[in-house]
Structure 1
Amino acid sequence: MAREKLNGGYVNGTTVDRESGLVYKTYQESTFSATNPSIRFRRELYALKKFPGLAPGLIEADFNNLMMVQELIPGDSFEVLSQQGEKVHEQAGEVLRQIHSVRFNDPPQYLKESFEKKVEIASHKSHAQTMLELIGVSTVDFDVNWEKVYELGTTVTHGDFWFRHLIKDARSGLPRVIDWEYTRPYTPYHDFVSVQQFIIGFFGGEEEFWRGYGMVPDKDTLNEFIKFQSFRYLAHITSPQVYLDEGPDGFYHKQAALLTKLVQS
């Protein structure tokens, strides 16, 4: 049974056996993720059980070795399909709406407290202040309209929702979603950040996506969450040298430019 390593896989050791149609994921420590491997393992296990038919089929879960065997979904990602000219934005919005349809009864204050805790953790990271000085930002403040956040409540969020993680199943033609290890109960605005940055930002289709989702999020509230995520990316950087070594089109330079723009707006 020959396995090949899948492209990407910065966080997990992921291999595939195409003959048997199985994916093997081993959840590992990584500088690309601040979330414990065992937590990522359990979050993905929850999602695979919660969303049968949308998420990959679960074959086996090994709690002792943090290893999971999943169904290999054949087909092209929405990233490839969009690049080929296929209109997939509206369908992607419908998929995200389906994910967010699973709701929780957590008190609204939970969302605010969770956000503030994340801000505090990021602010105390060893490179946070250095990165702000490098990009010429003195302070970062957040002014979230929590009433707008509370209107959408607490739902399941995917946590890494973008076109590379959506696949058009070659057998059924239906959309499927992979890589659920960052799923958690939180505000839908958490996923809206990924949509705005990595779907609309790369592939356009803003009107079509939100039409599929069924609503357009409040722009000012979304911008505050985008500002936080950009700050968090920079604060969690392994070393400022990573930022200095990459080119102007690098990931951290783009986050720095976005953060600077939102701080000044």
Structure 2
Amino acid sequence: MTYKFINSQVLPHFKKVLTGLNWDPNIEPEILIARGHIIFKFLFENKSYIYRLAKFSHQQIQRQIIASRLYKEFCPEIFYFDERCIIEEYISGDNFTHKTNYELWEQLGHILSTLHKLKCNGFGDLVSSNNSEFATFEDFIQDNLSNISLIHKEQFLSKEKIKKLENFISNPPPSADLNTKIMHGDIWPQNIIHSKKTNKPMLIDWENISSNYRESDFIVFSSYKHPDIHKIREIVFKSYKHPLNSDLINYFIVFKALSRYEPLQNSRELTNYLNKKILELVIFFDK
């Protein structure tokens, strides 16, 4: 997305939305482009807001609305939405890092415990507050299995290891709780903020809110390599109030890497990164 597109398409819509809200349409926003997202940060009546353009589809907006209704205490407040954008409060604070106070990581474990209490039907992105894209886990993993053909083309794994990878994805370990629950869907440090306003962790970027086994929200605690992550993982898991199967967490780490192939297949740099990632994960499926 270029600044020409922003000036010709996004800014006029931004001003139209502000006019409809009876907010000042002449506000000059700070333009941020992050991970393919177009984001405007702006100030109105001494409060900071985020205008976020839907990256792929209006369903992303709808999922953020679902999240805000289910988890008001953990989400940014939403002030406006349409099929193209959403306006939400800007959460002022610091992103979580390995240096974040252990007490805050403990609080995150409690938050995830609460978040993961809500049951949901099926697997994948939410289409309503209690239903998701796929009826079964077999349907959910089907797209990932088709990505195996892309790994064949990359020729960095032997045919034997590719067969083991396919078998691994086709036969997931059981969850510690066979009931599917609502997941944030994209837990990583950039989406966890220590809010200055509440002095508590807040979760942002809920566009991937989904239904799945609880283990799927814990990828970050097993995939990061920083030495401190082991202590952080111990603290979060201890404060988390539900049972987890670590083998299924490892499964979802491989699953996540495999799922990223198709959207990135035209990017050589990112495909090389994923190839390297899969090689690092061979220990989980080459048994």
1:21 counterpart SS class = strand
CA contact 1:48–1:57 (8 Å) conserved in 2: yes
CA contact 1:49–1:58 (8 Å) conserved in 2: no
2:139 counterpart residue number: 117
Once the two structures are overlaid, the 10-residue window that deviates more, 215-224 or 177-186, is: 215-224
Are residues 1:13 and 2:13 paired?
Answer: no
Write the deviation string for residues 82-108 of structure 1: whole angstroms up to 9, x where unpaired.
Answer: 43x52232222112112112223669x
TM-score by structure 1 length? 0.79
Are residues 1:73 and 2:97 paired?
Answer: no
Task: Give distance in 1, aligned partners of 2:228 and 2:35.
Answer: 21
1:145 counterpart SS class = coil
Write the deviation string for residues 123-175 of structure 1: whole angstroms up to 9, x where unpaired.
Answer: 324624223x22443322123233x35x2511110000122211111122122
2:201 counterpart residue number: 175
Alignment of 1:2-151 (within 5 A): 2-6=28-32, 9-18=34-43, 20-29=47-56, 37-63=57-83, 66-79=84-97, 82-83=98-99, 85-87=100-102, 88-104=104-120, 114-125=136-147, 127-131=150-154, 133-136=155-158, 137-139=161-163, 140=165, 141-142=167-168, 143-146=171-174, 148=175, 151=177
Task: Give distance in 1, aligned partners of 2:226 and 2:138.
Answer: 27
Task: Give distance in 2, aligned partners of 1:174 and 1:225.
Answer: 28
Write the deviation string for residues 208-252 of structure 1: whole angstroms up to 9, x where unpaired.
Answer: 0101112452122222222222222335432372257x5xxx4x2
Give RMSD over aligned pairs: 2.9
For structure 1, the residue ranges without an aligned partner over 5 or more in a row are 30-36
Task: Give distance in 2, aligned partners of 1:165 and 1:243.
Answer: 21
Write the deviation string for residues 10-52 of structure 1: whole angstroms up to 9, x where unpaired.
Answer: 24211111454110011023xxxxxxx2221111111012111
For structure 2, the residue ranges without an aligned partner over 5 or more in a row are 1-26, 124-131
Are residues 1:188 and 2:214 paired?
Answer: yes
Task: Give distance in 2, aligned partners of 1:105 and 1:115.
Answer: 11
Seen in structure 2, the aligned counterparts of structure 1 residues 202 and 25 have a Cα distance that, compared at 3 Å, is farther
Seen in structure 2, the aligned counterparts of structure 1 residues 195 and 171 have a Cα distance that, compared at 3 Å, is same
1:163 counterpart residue number: 189
Seen in structure 2, the aligned counterparts of structure 1 residues 14 and 93 have a Cα distance that, compared at 3 Å, is same
Task: Give distance in 1, aligned partners of 2:229 and 2:173.
Answer: 28
Seen in structure 2, the aligned counterparts of structure 1 residues 199 and 57 have a Cα distance that, compared at 3 Å, is farther
Seen in structure 2, the aligned counterparts of structure 1 residues 115 and 78 have a Cα distance that, compared at 3 Å, is same
Quote the offset at 1:69 in angstroms: 0.3
Q: Percent identical across equivalent pairs? A: 19
Higher relative contact order (CA 8 A, sep 6+): 1
Task: Give distance in 1, aligned partners of 2:101 and 2:217.
Answer: 23
Seen in structure 2, the aligned counterparts of structure 1 residues 243 and 50 have a Cα distance that, compared at 3 Å, is closer
Task: Give distance in 2, aligned partners of 1:44 and 1:202.
Answer: 31
TM-score by structure 2 length? 0.73
| Structure with larger Rg | 2
The aligned amino acid for 1:93 is G
